[in-house]
């Protein structure tokens, strides 16, 4: 019974959100539920407010108007509670930084380490609780990077970098995964692996929310597609959202609003 109730609760509730930078509106009256335990792909052109929506979901930016809740709580509280894991775009990370693949994934555990014994928290991270290392090993294995654990991150290829970032997000053991362009600039082998890993996460009950430009993988893997361009253009099954008419509406929605959003009941 409780399982059913949990499934019907949305993971993310966005209520009439309005956000702007320097008076320039980026999100206008965005009002949508993202279902829990499902895989949602957010699709929209550059500058459509996808990254802004992510920042609001993570609670690192506040919407000027409207409310957002993640699993029934304020995003910033949920972020501190470790409910969400965030996988950044590749450009956001300093790849020249002198750090190994293994230690990079371990940074995903830094939030959990707040619960460790005091002495563990003030010694260098390599002497952290062994259970963190166990999670790191598992995450590296999941993305097939265990053989690269000692490499400096600067020596990796584009697809490998993405896989390390994904491993770091997995290591957080969060209930909601937020992924910003997980497929940008990766080879097909890495792409297939990343999608397989995310599919496994979804099957084990996690909520996956990804921003992407890749229609093919959205069509193939996502349960729901959210079409976004400053406003919600549509939300529903991929086969009904990723059609020419809806995509044309999405492209135009940055300037005009001549259609009501098409939101399918879940």
Q: Please report, as ranges, the residues that interact with another protein according to CB under 8 A.
A: 58, 60, 79-82, 84-86, 88, 92-94, 97-100, 103, 107-108, 110-111, 113-114, 121-122, 124-125, 152, 154-155, 168, 172
CB of residue 116 to another protein, shortest distance in Å: 11
CB closer to another protein out of 101 and 194: 101
Residue 86 Cβ, how far from another protein at the closest point, in Å?
4
Q: Which is nearer to another protein, 104 or 231 (CB)?
A: 104
Q: CB-wise, 207 or 250, nearer to another protein? A: 207
Closest separation in Å from C-beta 42 to another protein = 17
CB of 112 to another protein, least distance (A): 9
Of the pair 97, 240, the CB lying nearest another protein is at: 97
SS (H, E, C) the chain: CHHHHHHHCEEEEEEEEEEEECCEEEEEEEEEEEECCCEEEEECCCCCCHHHHHHHHHCCCCCCEEEEEECCECHHHHHHCCCEEEECCHHHCCCCCCCEHHHHHHHHHCCHHHHCCHHHHHCCHHHCCHHHHHHHHHHHHHCCCHHHCCCEHHHCCHHHHHHHHHHHHHHCCCCEEEEECCCCCCCHHHHHHHHHHHHHHHHCCCEEEEECCCHHHHHHHCCEEEEEECEEEEEECHHHHCCHHHHHHHHHCCCCCCCCCEECCC
Least Å distance between CB 18 and another protein? 21
Q: Nearer to another protein by C-beta: 93 or 237?
A: 93
């Amino acid at each position: 019974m409780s399982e059913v109730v949990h499934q019907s609760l949305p993971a993310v509730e966005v209520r009439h959100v309005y956000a702007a930078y320097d008076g320039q509106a980026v999100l206008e009256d965005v009002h949508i539920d993202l279902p829990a335990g499902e895989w949602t792909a957010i699709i929209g052109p550059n500058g459509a407010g996808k990254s802004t929506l992510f920042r609001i979901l993570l609670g690192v930016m506040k919407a000027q108007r409207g409310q957002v809740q993640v699993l029934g709580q304020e995003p910033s509280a949920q972020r501190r509670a470790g409910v969400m894991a965030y996988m950044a775009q590749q450009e956001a990370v300093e790849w020249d930084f002198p750090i190994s693949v293994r230690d990079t994934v371990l940074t995903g555990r830094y939030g959990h380490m707040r619960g460790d014994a005091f002495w563990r928290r003030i010694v260098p991270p390599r002497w952290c609780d062994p259970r963190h290392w166990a999670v790191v090993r598992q995450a590296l294995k999941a993305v097939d990077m265990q053989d690269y654990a000692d490499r400096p991150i600067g020596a990796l290829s584009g697809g490998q970098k993405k896989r390390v970032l994904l491993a770091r997000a997995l290591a957080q053991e969060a209930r909601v995964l937020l992924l910003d362009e997980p497929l940008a600039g990766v080879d097909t082998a890495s792409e297939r692996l990343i999608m397989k890993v995310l599919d496994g996460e979804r099957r084990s009950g996690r909520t996956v929310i990804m921003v992407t430009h890749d229609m093919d993988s959205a069509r193939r893997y996502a349960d729901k597609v959210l079409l976004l361009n400053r406003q919600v253009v549509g939300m529903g099954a991929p086969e009904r959202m990723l059609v020419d008419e809806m995509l044309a509406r999405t492209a135009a929605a940055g300037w005009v609003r001549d259609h009501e959003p098409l939101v399918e009941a879940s």
